[in-house]
Chains A and B, each alone.
Chain A
Amino acid sequence: MTQAQRSQLAARVVGVYWLMLLGGLVLFTVARIDDTTVVVPLWVGAIGGTLLGQYLALHDLRSWLAAVIIAAAALYCEPLLPLGNATAQLWQAFLPAALCGFWSLGDRAGLAATWFPAVLWMLAILDGNDARLAPDGPAAVLLGGFAVLFVWFLHARESRRIGLWRSVAAEPLAPAQPIEVLREPPGRQLARVAWGVSTGAITVAITVWLVPPLWQTEELVGPAVQIDGAPAGCVPCCPLHPTARTQTARIKEYLGLGLGHDAHPTAPLDELACRACDGAAAVITVPGIAADGEPAIAVASAAGTGDVASPGARDLARTDRGSSIGTPLAEPDAVAPATAAWTDPGSLDLAGGSPAPPAVPGSLSWTDPGAPIETTASDLPPISAAPEPPLPPQIAPPRPPAPPPSTTTAAPAPISPPAAAPQPPQPPSRGGTGPPGAPHRTATDTLGTSVLRWLALILGGAVVLHGVRLALRPLRRLVHLRHLRRPFWSETLDQRVSNAWQLALIGLRDAGWRPGATEAPAQLARRAGVVGLDRCAAILERARHGVGLDAGDLADMQASADLAYGAARTGAGRFARAVGWLRWPLT
């Protein structure tokens, strides 16, 4: 077996595998385009590992040696890549990518080889999924797409295995010549297409329907939100309302890069003893809903009295939309100032319930939910000295937006708490609290429908193009037949005899007859037994042997060819005739 033959057999498997791999990487990149610290190491690790693994497989190295080389490569290169925190993600991607790349060209590990591409696809699928255990539109489409690629990959691997089976063995193999089709029933292509479509549909259905119920969630520590509860008096300045950390959840995956979903509060934060601070500024966090439907947290910063904000307040101040868990958060004084402010007396009970918003320091100001709001509380309620036992977590009910004060510079957006509505019962989750560094899913993190729209556009375009090509085939056939019968330009006598023979062959092919590679025309005529074909064969052989032909022979040839064409098609049946109009090449 030559190297060229080996490469030809492996090319399709490698191509499909890289399609799966790059597809997963691209989808993940689209979802997390702004997070280069995650995306770049993932690309480097995945591509580098896959290249190494497939290189080792194509050089026929044994599994143990390949594992040693992959591990050695990781150990050797690790200090050479100063990527900081990204190093762990790079090697987390590199090692399985190399192993799966190696297995992709192995004998029986095809399913195991698809694990790493599946991980990449699942990152994008889970990030783009709005519901937890039931993939919605884009996620379902991607899951189905991965299932189709998986079937395609298995098919490509089996084709390669058969190629190897026919070429390589411990015993000597007889070199086989290509299959010679002498007669074929019409419409087999349609059956194959139907089977392919059915298989793809079943696989997609199984995957989209049966896989998600198995998924397990893991809970993550999310941002802090304000909850209802009696204000607890304490020695330091106390917040108006106790706060609680939220918990988000995500589907567990090997690469812990998934985004959190469905934030909900957990137990209140363990506040330190604090005291009431008259006229002091308090840092208050107000949950809200951004215009795009994502939860937003309004943050007030402590100011004015010089009292030290409680840890809870600091936590509140750190609660910033879009900040990544696990990365250093901005200090309270780093919070951007409010651009619009108004008072919410209903919830905060400031200034004696007066709806008039003090647009001065000490008043509560609301901002655009998408940005932190700096609020100064001038009249905080009395706070008891000893903290009360924490109440069960409860999110403050949504507050309707009050009319903006006249002093505000812009109208505030309607605000509603993100997790104020009762949480639907979640399926039992395993794996308790996850790593606190998981980022929360925001609107920009979701896999944009634009990508899917583009994909659908490309797919639809390909289908339309194929349909147009199919639709043009009858026209192409008509033109071709017309030329064979009456050439559009002047041709020699021998060429016209050959044209007539081609016409007869087209009719034969419609009926399923195909000439053998070494079969003489007379032999084909005897085998097919179609009326007029023997006469065609006789004249053609005379032309091939240089025996002189005249116009009478040409007329005879054309008449016989027409007769054979019609007779062959007549015996083929309606279905075969219809399929014949769509076939290309014609012979």
Chain B
Amino acid sequence: MPSTTHRELRIATLMAAPAIAAIASLSERNAQILHTTAPVLGMLWLCAAAALVVRAVQARRQSPADLRPPWHPLDVLTATGTAVLWISATALVGFAVTGWASLSVLGVLGLGAVFVAVLWTAIAAGGDASWRGATIARTIVPEISVEGDPLREQLRLAGIRIPAGMRLFATGRALPFGPVTRYAVGSEGSRAELCQTSELGAAVRGEHCAPPLVFWLGDVLGLTHAPAVEHGEARFSVLPRPAVVDGARAVLGAGGDDAPSRQTQRQPTEGTFRIRDYAAGDDTRRIHWVRSLQAHRLVVRLPDEIPQAEPAVRLILDTELWGAEAMACRAPGELLDALVRVWLGVARALTETGTRVTLIAAAGPTGGPAAVDWPTAPHSSREALRLGGRVAWQTTVPLGALIATDAAPAVRQVVVSSRPRTLVSSPEVAWIVVPEAAWTSAEPALPAPARIRLPFPSGSADNRLGRRRRARERSQEMRNDRTIFRHVMSCTDGTPLAGELLARPRRGRVALEVIP
């Protein structure tokens, strides 16, 4: 969609360029110009202007609450149309100076083409007739996916009226830093049922609400466009993918809470397993047939790995950070995703060792704290994953509010955070530090100044200076925010971290290492 930065300039072009051309041409005082060329072009311009004004008034009546300026519907010229209009005016001025007939051809052709295109756009594509009765369905498939899975955007259009000589354009972005989707449909798709699919790439964790796509109609010569409309909001969820964590047992401390259940010494005469009588419901694979024959009753083995008393861990995710959502860089999102992956990975690793894990995060339905027990049964952790998917940076629930002050002494409280800090009036907690530098990628480099060659193929609109400048400003803003974010995350209040755990990526897994 064309930028609205120079909207007023484009609207002024509709009047200024023809006026300049008229002044240049009519100064000839040629009777034939006054009787043919000027009146016809003037009528064309008047018709086009009148159609635009009528459409603007119509739009204002239909949506009086529209906060955009009243002349917004007059902005129908594309950048190409604006250029054609100015080149036409320049050609006619040049013709008045030099008298070259080819310049008059260029001037009249350009003016005529733009006026006819504006008139046709205002008549055929103005208003909401094109969208009346249309069905626009946008879905991100799969609707619920796991982080890293490939996502597709499916756009189904039905009943959109695309007038002859026009094209339908649509663009949007489903993920905050994801790829941009762009569609173009010719008038052969008018009132048709169409399906378009785009590959969005790897899914990024979160409960996403994709902003609607922007639709507009443009003529096939690229001179004009109709006002844009927005349709097709889509919601989809991407569940986090827990990381595989090595060394999670260190979370439980030296010796581990499951030590009583382990047989550290076994004499040669001692059996390998503890046994008991068979009870209804026991797994028949655990029946100790030799002992059962000796005892003349069914005896089952008991695995040593199951502790007699399961240790409990409250795994708390620290998502308290001010201003992260407003940052333009990708690092806050990447760091939060890493925190969630480590958080869930540690939970799963601890559960596999027999520890009862309760996940705590400020991601409740109303934004408050939420606690979810990580289930011991595999493949039943969807609730925990949903909690992880909802997690976002927040400021409403401080970290201290997530730490239970009345927890049993046997319950360890571990905070997964990037910013370990001293908590006032809170019991002792252990920290798993997820360092920002290790889990975020570098922001894209600033666009290199292309003084010799164009950065994009010749003819691409992204070569325009304005777009290049905006892209550079956007990139610069990302880098500035990244610098701020790095400073914020590396600030420390002097909390001693010796003995705490550091989560570092290692060959696709997470290694928990004790900070010396």
**Bound pair: A and B?**
yes
- In the complex the two chains form, what is the Cα distance from A171 to B194 in whole Å? 26
Is B500 interfacial (CB 8 A cutoff)? Answer: no
Size of B's binding interface in residues, CB under 8 A: 89
Q: In the complex, A155 Cα to B80 Cα: how many Å?
A: 12
Are A192 and B459 interface neighbours, CB within 8 A? Answer: no
Q: Assess whether B99 is in contact with A516, with CB atoms less than 8 Å apart.
A: no
CA distance A366 to B153 in the complex (A): 89
Q: Which residues on the B side are within 8 Å of A119 (C-beta)?
A: 100, 102
List, sorted by A's number, 17 A–B pairs whose CB atoms are closer than 8 Å: A13-B459, A107-B461, A107-B463, A111-B87, A115-B102, A150-B113, A154-B113, A157-B459, A161-B80, A161-B459, A164-B460, A169-B462, A171-B180, A179-B194, A184-B191, A188-B190, A216-B99
Q: Is A206 an interface residue (CB 8 A)?
A: yes
* B260-268, B430-438, B449-457 - the one binding chain A: B449-457
Task: Looking at the assembled complex, report how far the CB atom of A294 sits from the nearest CB atom of chain B, in whole angstroms.
Answer: 23
Interface stretch among A247-255, A498-506, A559-567?
A247-255
Complex contacts, A180 vs chain B, CB 8 Å: 194-197
Q: When each residue 35-79 of chain B gets 1 if its CB lies under 8 Å from chain A and 0 otherwise, what string results?
A: 111001100000000000000000000000000000000000001
Q: Does B450 lie within 8 Å of A62, measured CB to CB?
A: yes
Find chain B residues with CB under 8 A from A218 CB: 99
Q: Which of B184, B188, B459, B463 contacts A188 (CB 8 A)?
A: B188
Q: What would 17 more interface pairs be, CB under 8 Å, given A57-B459, A111-B83, A183-B193?
A: A62-B453, A62-B454, A108-B84, A111-B109, A111-B110, A112-B87, A133-B32, A154-B222, A158-B220, A158-B222, A165-B461, A168-B456, A211-B101, A211-B109, A213-B32, A214-B95, A427-B30
Inter-chain contact A185/B190, CB cutoff 8 Å: yes
In the complex, chain B residues whose CB is within 8 Å of the CB of A168 = 456-457, 460, 462
Report whether B112 and A206 are in contact in the complex, using a CB–CB cutoff of 8 Å: yes
Which of B105, B164, B461 is the one whose CB lies under 8 Å from A207? B105
Cα–Cα, bound, A122→B105 (Å): 9
Chain A residue with the shortest CB-CB distance to B463: A107
* Pair B101/A252 contact, Cβ less than 8 Å: yes
Q: Which 6 A-B pairs have the closest CB atoms?
A: A195-B164, A158-B222, A213-B32, A108-B83, A252-B99, A174-B179
| Contact status A254-B458, CB under 8 Å | no
Bound Cα distance from A174 to B181, whole angstroms: 5
Mark out the residues of chain A between 166 and 201 whose CB falls within 8 Å of any chain B CB in the assembled complex: 166, 168-177, 179-185, 188-189, 191-192, 194-196, 199
Tell whether A19 is near chain B: CB-to-CB under 8 Å.
no
B167 touches A185 (CB 8 A): no
Of the candidate stretches B198-206, B228-236, B401-409, B411-419, the one touching chain A is B198-206
| Chain B residues whose CB sits within 8 angstroms of the CB of A107 once the complex forms | 79-80, 458-461, 463-464
Chain B residues lying within 8 Å of A182, measured Cβ to Cβ, are 192-195
A203 contacts the other chain (Cβ, under 8 Å)?
yes
Residues of A within 8 A of B109 (CB): 111, 114, 147, 150, 203, 206-207, 211
| B221 contacts A by Cβ under 8 Å | yes
Please give, as numbers and ranges, the residues of chain B lying within 8 Å of A428 by CB-CB distance: 29-30
B464 touches A177 (CB 8 A): no
| Residue numbers in A under 8 Å from B181 (CB-CB) | 173-174, 176
Closest B-chain residue to A185, C-beta based? Answer: B191
> Is A410 in the interface zone, CB < 8 Å from B?
no
Mask for B316-343, Cβ within 8 A of A = 1, else 0? 0000000000000000000000000000
The answer to whether B189 touches A184, judged by C-beta atoms less than 8 angstroms apart, is yes
| B188 x A146 contact (CB < 8 A) | no
- Tell me, yes or no, whether B141 is within 8 Å of chain A by CB: no
CB <8 Å contact, B182 and A194: no
Determine if B108 and A207 form an interchain contact, defined as CB atoms under 8 angstroms apart: yes
Residue in B29, B109, B116, B456 whose Cβ sees the most chain A Cβ within 10 Å: B109
User: How many angstroms from the CA of A185 to the CA of B183 in the assembled complex?
Assistant: 21
- Nearest residue (CB) in A for B196 is A179
Is B164 within 8 A of A192, CB to CB? yes
* C-alpha spacing A182/B197, complex, angstroms: 13
A61 and B199: CB pair below 8 A?
Answer: no
Query: Which of A213, A251, A431: most chain B CB closer than 10 A?
Result: A213
Question: Does B184 lie within 8 Å of A165, measured CB to CB?
Answer: yes
Q: How far is the CA of A410 from the CA of B491 in the complex (A)?
A: 114
A115 close to B106 (CB less than 8 A): yes
The CB with the most chain A CB atoms within 10 A, among B103, B110, B457, is that of B457
Chain B residues positioned under 8 Å from A106 (CB to CB): 458-459
Residues of B within 8 A of A179 (CB): 185, 189, 194-196
Min Cβ gap A372→B in Å is 35
Residue of B nearest to A171 (CB): B180
Q: Is B40 a contact partner of A210 (Cβ separation < 8 A)?
A: yes
Contact status B182-A166, CB under 8 Å? yes
Check if A111 sits within 8 Å of B180, measured CB to CB.
Answer: no
Q: Determine which of B36, B185, B451, B464 lies in contact with A209 in the assembled complex, contact meaning CB atoms within 8 Å.
A: B36
With most chain A CB atoms within 10 A of its CB, the pick from B40, B83, B455 is: B83
The yes or no answer to B355 lying at the interface (CB within 8 A) is: no
- How distant is the Cα of A338 from the Cα of B209 in the complex, in angstroms? 96
On whether the beta carbons of A174 and B180 are closer than 8 Å, the reply is yes
Structural contact, A214 and B221, CB atoms closer than 8 A: no
CB-based contact A211/B184 at 8 Å? no
**A158/B221 in contact, CB under 8 A:** yes
